[in-house]
C-alpha cells in the first residue's frame, strides 16, 4: 500500500485493484507540481480486497479519494452519505471525508457530459452504450438527462436488454452516439475492440470510447474510417478529476 513520509501533507489517493499505473496519480502529481502545491500528495491505494479500506482510512491527513474498478459499486457499505447524483447512478468514483463520515460522489457523469456536449447537435436521437459496469451507469444517466433514447448492450442480455448477437441483427445505423464503456482495446491489447457491426456505422454518428490509452483505439479507428466523429476518454477523465478536486476542497474549507 502506498504511503508518504511527510505527515504534514494532505493525502489524496485512488482506490482500486492492480493499479500500478493510474491516470489519477499521474494527473494530480502533475497538477500539484504545476500549481506548486507542496502541501499535497496523491498515491495509489492498491487493494486486493476492499476490506483493506479500513486500514486506508487510518492514513494520517487523508483528504479525499477517487475510486476505480472494481470498487465503484462495492464501496457503498463504507459510505455514510451519498450525493443525489451518485445515488441515482448507483456508482461512486469520488469520496470526500466529512465530519459525518465518508460521502460518495460521481464525477464520471460530469466528466462525460462536459466532453460530450461539444459534439452534440440540437436534436437528440438514439444512443447506444456498450458495457454494463460502473462507468456505464454514469454514461447512461447523462445520456438520459440529455434527452437521448437509450439502448444498452453487453454479453448478458438480462443485464442490458440486448446482447451482441442482437446488435449484429439490428445494426448501428440508427444511432447518433455509440459509447464504449468496456475495457476492450486498452493498452497493451490495442487491436481488440467490441464485437459490433462496424460496417453499419453512420457518418452522422459519434463514436465515444472511455479508454484514453491508446488515444485512438481500434474502436475509434473503425468509426473514423466510416466518416464518423470520434472522442476518446481523456477529456472526460480530466473533467472528472477537476470536479473531484473541487469537491475535496469544498469539504476541507467547510
Are 37 and 86 found together in one domain? yes
Residue 254 pLDDT: 52
**Number of other residues whose CB lies within 10 A of the CB of residue 99:** 7
Are 230 and 242 found together in one domain? no
Has residue 4 been placed in a domain? no
Residue 7 pLDDT: 62
pLDDT tens sequence across 14-54 = 999 999 878 999 999 999 999 999 999 999 999 999 999 99
Position 207 pLDDT exceeds 50: yes
Question: Is residue 72 annotated as part of the catalytic site, yes or no?
Answer: yes
Are 119 and 90 found together in one domain? no
Burial class, 162, CB count within 10 angstroms (exposed 0-12 / middle 13-18 / buried 19+):
middle
Position 3 pLDDT exceeds 70: no
Are 121 and 65 found together in one domain? no
**Number of other residues whose CB lies within 10 A of the CB of residue 182:** 24
CA distance 94 to 64: 8
Look at the chain and report how many structural domains it folds into: 2
Residue 190 pLDDT: 97
pLDDT tens sequence across 144-201 = 999 999 999 999 898 889 999 999 999 999 999 999 999 999 999 999 999 999 999 9
Residue 6 pLDDT: 53
Residue 237 pLDDT: 97
Are 139 and 28 found together in one domain? no
The residue segments making up the domain with residue 123 are 110-235
**Among residues 8, 17, 33, 72, which one is catalytic?**
72
122-148 CB burial, b ≥16 within 10 A, e <16: eeeeebbbbbbbbbbbbbbbbbeeeeb
Has residue 2 been placed in a domain? no
Are 118 and 228 found together in one domain? yes
Residue 4 pLDDT: 46
Residue 40 pLDDT: 97
Q: What is the mean pLDDT of residues 61-88?
A: 96
Residue 140 pLDDT: 98
Q: pTM of the prediction?
A: 0.92
Q: What is the mean pLDDT of residues 73-95?
A: 97
pLDDT tens sequence across 109-158 = 999 999 999 999 878 899 999 999 889 999 999 999 999 999 999 998 98
Amino acid at each position: 500500500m502506498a504511503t508518504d513520509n511527510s505527515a504534514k501533507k494532505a493525502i489524496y489517493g485512488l482506490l482500486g485493484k492492480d493499479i500500478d499505473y493510474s491516470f489519477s496519480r499521474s494527473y494530480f502529481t502533475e497538477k500539484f507540481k504545476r500549481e506548486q502545491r507542496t502541501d499535497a500528495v496523491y498515491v495509489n491505494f492498491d487493494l486486493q480486497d476492499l476490506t483493506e479500506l479500513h486500514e486506508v482510512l487510518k492514513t494520517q491527513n487523508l483528504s479525499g479519494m477517487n475510486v476505480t474498478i472494481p470498487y465503484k459499486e462495492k464501496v457503498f457499505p463504507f459510505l455514510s452519505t451519498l450525493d443525489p447524483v451518485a445515488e441515482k447512478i448507483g456508482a461512486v468514483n469520488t469520496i470526500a471525508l466529512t465530519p459525518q463520515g465518508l460521502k460518495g460522489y460521481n464525477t464520471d457523469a460530469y466528466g462525460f457530459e462536459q466532453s460530450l456536449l461539444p459534439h452534440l447537435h440540437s436534436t437528440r436521437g438514439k444512443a447506444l452504450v456498450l458495457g454494463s459496469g460502473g462507468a456505464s451507469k454514469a454514461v447512461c444517466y447523462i445520456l438520459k438527462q440529455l434527452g437521448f433514447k437509450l439502448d444498452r448492450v453487453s454479453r448478458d442480455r438480462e443485464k442490458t436488454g440486448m446482447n451482441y448477437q442482437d446488435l449484429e441483427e439490428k445494426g448501428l445505423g440508427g444511432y447518433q452516439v455509440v459509447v464504449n464503456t468496456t475495457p476492450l482495446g486498452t493498452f497493451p491489447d490495442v487491436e481488440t475492440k467490441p464485437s459490433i457491426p462496424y460496417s453499419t456505422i453512420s457518418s452522422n454518428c459519434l463514436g465515444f470510447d472511455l479508454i484514453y490509452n491508446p488515444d485512438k483505439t481500434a474502436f475509434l479507428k473503425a468509426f473514423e474510417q466510416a466518416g464518423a466523429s470520434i472522442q476518446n476518454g481523456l477529456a472526460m477523465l480530466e473533467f472528472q478529476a477537476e470536479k473531484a478536486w473541487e469537491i475535496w476542497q469544498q469539504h476541507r474549507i467547510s
